[in-house]
């Protein structure tokens, strides 16, 4: 029997706020986490994802980020916390999973297909099977071939979905095609498909995705939560209108490498102390931030005017 992970609704993969001199800003992170769960209505949080610049964080910083996000989730009724575990070293991933499992605060781990190594689908199955058997945590497979260089077939995803500890997939292939429709049309008990491509989350939800892990939701959390709720209530007209608007916002937020523009907007809104990102990322241009900030504020202005 699969563990119950409650993977439905919006999960916000939080940015990691830095100071101008690139130190971790824990108070800003705690505020972002609290706002996402209280004001924004997110179902849960994701720590140490790509949006968090996890590859540039020290082990101590990673522990601090997990600790802060865990505290926020506990304060909001035990909201689920998903933690990113990204490595192409199966043994190292197992060790990290086991350490996270010991805390008792992590609902699941978000694990990408092994990047760079490109072990093939058989190797990927062996990788996730080992993590499921020895890691001690429920797993959400992160299918994002344009980052990992490793595409997965629908048949492989179905096999993964039937592993006892695999509770979902963050589906971020960049397209909605026959393979996506086949996956969304399949019914695997205890296995949730979560959209991971922000710009196309609305049609993914319309086709049956259970929710989303959406970087853009750092900015307009409540609207992304509402979009998911609208599709779950079969309110197609309002959902299409809001989805189209949020797709424009997502395109602007991803105009430069993630999360540079998102951080620029959050800083412009006074929500984080600096727009700084760590190398090899560069801070977003003023034009990109200005454009995204305008779109981030547009719906609020419309509601005020109404």
Cis? peptide before 149, omega within 30° of 0: no
Question: Looking at 142, 171, 224, 263, which residue is catalytic?
Answer: 142
Tokens describing residue 244: 């189209």
Tokens describing residue 8: 């439905």
Question: Looking at 62, 170, 171, 263, which residue is catalytic?
Answer: 170
**Is 170 a known active-site residue?**
yes
C-alpha span between 176 and 94 (Å, rounded): 32
Tokens describing residue 225: 């939560």
**Is 116 a known active-site residue?**
no
In this structure, are residues 80 and 108 in contact, taking their beta carbons and an 8 Å threshold? yes
In this structure, are residues 267 and 292 in contact, taking their beta carbons and an 8 Å threshold? no
C-alpha span between 93 and 197 (Å, rounded): 25
Spell 104-141 as b/e; 16+ CB within 10 A means b: ebbbbbbbbbbbebebebeebbebbbebbeebbbbbbb
* Active site members: 142, 170
């Amino acid at each position: 029997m699969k563990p119950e992970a409650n993977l439905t609704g919006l999960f916000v993969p939080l940015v990691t706020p830095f100071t101008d001199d690139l130190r971790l800003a824990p108070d800003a992170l705690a505020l972002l986490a609290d706002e996402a769960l209280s004001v924004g209505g997110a179902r849960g949080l994701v720590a140490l994802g790509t949006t968090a610049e996890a590859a540039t964080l020290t082990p101590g910083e990673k522990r601090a980020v997990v600790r802060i996000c865990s505290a926020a989730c506990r304060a909001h009724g035990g909201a689920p916390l998903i933690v990113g575990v990204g490595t192409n070293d199966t043994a190292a991933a197992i060790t990290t999973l086991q350490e996270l499992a010991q805390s008792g605060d992590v609902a699941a781990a978000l694990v990408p297909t092994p990047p760079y190594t490109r072990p093939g689908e058989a190797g990927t199955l062996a990788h996730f099977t080992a993590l499921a058997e020895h890691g001690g945590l429920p797993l959400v497979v992160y299918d994002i071939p344009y980052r990992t260089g490793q595409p997965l077939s629908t048949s492989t995803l179905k096999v993964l979905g039937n592993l006892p500890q695999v509770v979902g997939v963050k589906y971020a292939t960049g397209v909605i095609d026959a393979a996506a429709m086949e996956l969304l049309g399949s019914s695997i008990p205890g296995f949730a498909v979560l959209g991971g491509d922000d710009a196309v989350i609305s049609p993914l939800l319309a086709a049956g995705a259970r929710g989303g892990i959406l970087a853009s939701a750092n900015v307009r959390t409540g609207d992304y939560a509402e979009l998911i709720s609208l599709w779950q209530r079969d309110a197609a007209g309002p959902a299409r209108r809001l989805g189209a608007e949020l797709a424009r916002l997502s395109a602007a937020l991803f105009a430069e490498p993630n999360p540079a523009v998102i951080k620029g907007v959050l800083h412009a809104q006074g929500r984080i102390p600096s727009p700084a990102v760590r190398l090899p990322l560069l801070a977003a241009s003023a034009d990109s931030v200005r454009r995204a900030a305008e779109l981030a504020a547009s719906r609020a202005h419309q509601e005020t005017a109404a």
